[in-house]
């Protein structure tokens, strides 16, 4: 067999991929503070889809999966009840389905919502505020398979500003957050899909000079995982120079 | 004579004692009794549940145990679910205390003294809701959870032996794509429930496919059929079909058709 005779099917399912740029899902709050998801338009133009095909949006949070009926390709409807309650770690799945065979014609998988106050949609650890953290300033709940999200206690004064701009706060909190999230990444392997949250972590690790073969597997001994995480964290802290920045910030405050 | 007792929960000391008790049992040491913890007021705390349970109640299997507890808690559990259910993931929380207490109360029935392979840790007895991939191995909570939340397939998933955990739960409960799908659950019942045996799972349906390539063939070179069309293969195939079909829009017969011939021999 020569190399010329090898063929590779890049899309064996024949499902048309709906690019994430065709729609944006936001998490908003109503006047009473209840969270809901929203979107302006789901643009399916130019995909040459059957106009009568059914469109569904699935909201996924851990073990919970909620279906929203969005009508058909030519007659879209927007569900009126889009409240998400206390659900966390949301992912969305958009499906265009043949109404007779239920075959998926087109889909968008693992779509993240743009969180409240989150400008950077593709951040490594999305940050959200929460009013039910009790006496904890921050929390990183780890749900199997789900992207880790950092929750900040909304009752703690200026918490969002501190986490974004205050070097001392960042130096105190983020190394531990990153440790937990890295362990979660190691323990929740996935395929090589570039749209999975794990891929961002893989890229992060690679950017800090580590090879794929150096990353422990979920089955590796804990000691091996801790050792690897220590190395990555140390490299990252060195790169962003947060220790010096925090020290300088403290000294500046003293002299003010 | 029944020994009725108010439903209690183990506190932190009680959990530590229970952990030691399990370790002892695993080593073959039976000197410490269940009652020595249950009736030690330093180890337990009261719960808001008003129902009583019989400490000496005997069960045929874990489904019967789950139904017994479901009946005892039915009018109260939903009110306290946030504290005493899976939602409370606190490692020292009330849910850990409650479900571990139940496992302690019925430990002598739940623990398989004759098992060739003893459990490697206490996850079957100490409830661990904080461990995402482990909570479902609890010997009392998981059957109860299935009866409470997935009653339609509880019988086929729960082991028909009181001291056995069973592969049906292992292959399904932690997999959201199975448990979230009404059609998948209906298909599981259709394929694997033995209607001539109270809806228990059919013999052989939980056997595992060989994962190591070198062991997938018999000495004669033929493909081994263990796990063929079984529950583990069902979960894996369903994951694939989910990429190409809207499973919630299918009925169970259509889904089974899509799953391929290997599953059809289970259909009656």
B180 in contact with chain A, both atoms CB, cutoff 8 A: yes
The answer to whether residues B161 and B186 belong to one domain is no
In this prediction, residue B66 carries a pLDDT of 96
Residue B174 within any structural domain of the chain = no
Interchain proximity A104–B254, CB inside 8 Å:
no
The answer to whether residues B80 and B208 belong to one domain is no
Q: Which residue carries 């899976």 as its tokens? A: B86
The helix/strand/coil state of A93 is strand
Residue B175 within any structural domain of the chain = no
Residue B177 within any structural domain of the chain = no
The answer to whether residues B157 and B187 belong to one domain is no
Neighbours of A50 (CB within 10 A): 15
Q: Which residue carries 């399990």 as its tokens? A: B22
Residues of chain B with pLDDT under 70: 1, 118-120, 132-133, 212-216, 268
The answer to whether residues B143 and B203 belong to one domain is no
- Which has more pLDDT, A13 or A185? A185
Rounded CA gap, B13 and B17, in Å? 6
Rounded CA gap, A113 and B125, in Å? 38
SS3 content of chain A, % helix, strand, coil (to 5): 30, 25, 45
Interchain proximity A64–B250, CB inside 8 Å:
no
Of B244, B247, B250, the CB nearest to A15: B244
Judge whether B249 and A102 are in contact, CB under 8 Å: yes
Residue B173 within any structural domain of the chain = no
Last residue of one domain, picked from the residues B136, B165, B194:
B165
In this prediction, residue B10 carries a pLDDT of 97
The answer to whether residues B72 and B199 belong to one domain is no
Closest CA–CA distance from residue B180 to any residue of chain A (Å): 6
Judge whether A153 and A138 are in contact, CB under 8 Å: yes
Which chain B residues are Cβ-neighbours of A65 within 8 angstroms?
176, 180
| Average pLDDT of the residues of chain A | 85
Token pair, residue A100, equals: 């007779």
pTM passes above 0.90 = no
Q: Which of A16, A47, A109 is nearest to B242 (CA)?
A: A109
Query: Is the confidence metric ipTM above 0.85 for this complex?
Result: no
Interchain proximity B245–A142, CB inside 8 Å:
no
Q: Write down the H helix ranges in B106-175.
A: 107-110, 141-149, 151-157, 167-170
The pLDDT tens digits of the residues spanning A87-127 come to 877 889 999 999 999 999 999 988 888 765 544 445 788 88
In this prediction, residue A121 carries a pLDDT of 43
In this prediction, residue A10 carries a pLDDT of 62
In this prediction, residue B214 carries a pLDDT of 64
H/E run at residue A56: strand A54-61
The answer to whether residues B224 and B250 belong to one domain is yes
Interchain proximity B246–A15, CB inside 8 Å:
no
Rounded CA gap, B95 and B110, in Å? 19
Of A13, A67, A142, the CB nearest to B248: A67
Residue B172 within any structural domain of the chain = no
Which chain A residues are Cβ-neighbours of B247 within 8 angstroms?
102
Interchain proximity B245–A144, CB inside 8 Å:
no
In this prediction, residue A120 carries a pLDDT of 44
Judge whether B45 and B8 are in contact, CB under 8 Å: yes
Q: End-to-end CA distance of chain A, in Å?
A: 75
Interchain proximity B243–A15, CB inside 8 Å:
yes
Number of domain units in chain B: 2
Q: Which of A186, A174, A182 is nearest to A230 (CA)?
A: A182
The pLDDT tens digits of the residues spanning B200-212 come to 999 989 888 877 6
Dihedral of the CA atoms B120, B125, B128, B131 (nearest 10)? 30
The answer to whether residues B88 and B139 belong to one domain is yes
B contact residues 202-261, partner A, Cβ 8 Å cutoff: 243-250, 254
Taking phi over 0 as left and psi of -120 to 50 as alpha, with beta for the rest, A102 belongs to left
In this prediction, residue B180 carries a pLDDT of 85
Of the pLDDT bands very low, low, confident and very high (cuts 50, 70, 90), residue A223 is very high
Judge whether A126 and A160 are in contact, CB under 8 Å: no
Q: Which of A28, A141, A151, A23 is nearest to A83 (CA)?
A: A28
Residue B50 within any structural domain of the chain = yes
In this prediction, residue A194 carries a pLDDT of 67
Which chain A residues are Cβ-neighbours of B243 within 8 angstroms?
13, 15, 104
The answer to whether residues B138 and B242 belong to one domain is no
In this prediction, residue A89 carries a pLDDT of 75
The answer to whether residues B234 and B146 belong to one domain is no
Closest CA–CA distance from residue A92 to any residue of chain B (Å): 14
Closest CA–CA distance from residue B246 to any residue of chain A (Å): 5
DSSP B22: H
The pLDDT tens digits of the residues spanning A146-173 come to 889 899 998 888 888 788 778 888 899 9
Last residue of one domain, picked from the residues B105, B137, B165:
B165
Interchain proximity A102–B174, CB inside 8 Å:
no
The answer to whether residues B24 and B134 belong to one domain is yes
Q: Output the CA angle B87-A88-A199, nearest 5 degrees.
A: 120
Closest CA–CA distance from residue B40 to any residue of chain A (Å): 32
List beta partners, residue A55.
Answer: A96
Which chain B residues are Cβ-neighbours of A60 within 8 angstroms?
176
Range of the domain at B122: 1-165
Token pair, residue B205, equals: 């349906």
Q: Write down the H helix ranges in chain B.
A: 12-26, 35-38, 62-73, 77-84, 94-105, 107-110, 141-149, 151-157, 167-170, 176-179, 182-192, 231-244, 252-259
Which chain A residues are Cβ-neighbours of B133 within 8 angstroms?
144
The answer to whether residues B72 and B192 belong to one domain is no
Interchain proximity A144–B249, CB inside 8 Å:
no
The answer to whether residues B197 and B106 belong to one domain is no
Q: End-to-end CA distance of chain B, in Å?
A: 44
Last residue of one domain, picked from the residues B96, B130, B165:
B165
The pLDDT tens digits of the residues spanning A172-198 come to 999 999 999 999 999 988 766 666 788
Interchain proximity B246–A97, CB inside 8 Å:
yes
In this prediction, residue B193 carries a pLDDT of 95
């Amino acid at each position: 067999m020569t190399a010329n005779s090898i063929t590779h099917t890049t899309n064996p399912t024949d499902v048309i991929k709906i690019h994430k740029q065709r729609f944006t899902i936001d998490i908003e709050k109503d006047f009473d503070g209840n969270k809901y998801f929203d979107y302006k338009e789901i643009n399916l133009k130019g995909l040459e889809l059957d106009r009568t095909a059914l469109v569904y949006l699935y909201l996924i949070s851990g073990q919970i999966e909620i279906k929203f009926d969005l009508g058909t390709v030519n007659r879209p409807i927007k569900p009126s009840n889009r409240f998400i309650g206390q659900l966390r770690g949301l992912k969305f799945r958009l499906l265009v389905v043949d109404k007779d065979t239920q075959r998926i014609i087109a889909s968008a998988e693992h779509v993240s919502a743009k969180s409240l106050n989150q400008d950077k949609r593709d951040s490594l650890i999305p940050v959200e505020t929460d009013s039910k953290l009790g006496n904890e300033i921050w929390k990183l709940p780890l749900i199997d398979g789900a992207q880790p999200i950092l929750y900040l206690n909304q009752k703690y004064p200026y918490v969002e500003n501190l986490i974004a701009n205050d070097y001392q706060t960042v130096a105190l909190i983020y190394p531990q957050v990153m440790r937990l999230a890295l362990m979660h990444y190691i323990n929740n392997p996935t395929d090589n899909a570039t749209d999975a949250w794990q891929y961002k972590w893989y890229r992060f690790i690679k950017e800090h000079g580590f090879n794929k073969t150096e990353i422990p597997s979920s089955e590796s001994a804990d000691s091996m995982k801790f050792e690897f995480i220590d190395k990555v964290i140390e490299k990252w802290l060195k790169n962003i120079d947060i220790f010096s920045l925090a020290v300088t910030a403290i000294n500046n405050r003293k002299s003010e | 004579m029944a020994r009725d007792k108010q439903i209690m929960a183990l506190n932190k000391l009680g959990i530590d004692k229970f952990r030691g008790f399990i370790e002892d049992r695993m080593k073959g040491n039976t000197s410490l009794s269940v009652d020595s913890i249950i009736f030690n007021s330093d180890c337990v705390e009261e719960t808001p549940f008003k129902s009583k349970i019989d400490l000496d109640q005997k069960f045929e299997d874990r489904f019967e145990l789950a139904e017994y507890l479901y009946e005892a808690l039915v009018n109260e559990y939903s009110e306290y679910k946030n504290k005493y259910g899976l939602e409370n993931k606190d490692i020292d929380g009330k849910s850990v205390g409650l479900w571990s207490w139940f496992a302690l109360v019925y430990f002598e029935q739940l623990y398989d003294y004759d098992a060739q392979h003893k459990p490697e840790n206490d996850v079957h007895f100490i409830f661990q809701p904080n461990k995402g991939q482990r909570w479902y191995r609890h010997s009392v909570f998981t059957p109860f959870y299935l009866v409470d939340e997935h009653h339609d397939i509880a019988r086929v998933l729960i082991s028909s032996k009181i001291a056995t955990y069973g592969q049906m739960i292992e292959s399904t409960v932690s997999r959201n794509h199975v448990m979230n799908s009404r059609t998948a659950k209906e298909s599981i019942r259709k394929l694997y429930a033995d209607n001539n045996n109270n809806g228990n799972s059919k013999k052989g349906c939980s056997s595992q496919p060989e994962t190591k390539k070198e062991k997938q063939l018999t000495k004669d070179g033929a493909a081994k059929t263990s796990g063929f069309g079984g529950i583990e293969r069902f979960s894996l195939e369903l994951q694939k079909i989910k990429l190409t079909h809207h499973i919630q829009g299918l009925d169970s017969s259509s889904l089974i058709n899509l799953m391929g011939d290997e599953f059809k021999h289970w259909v009656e």
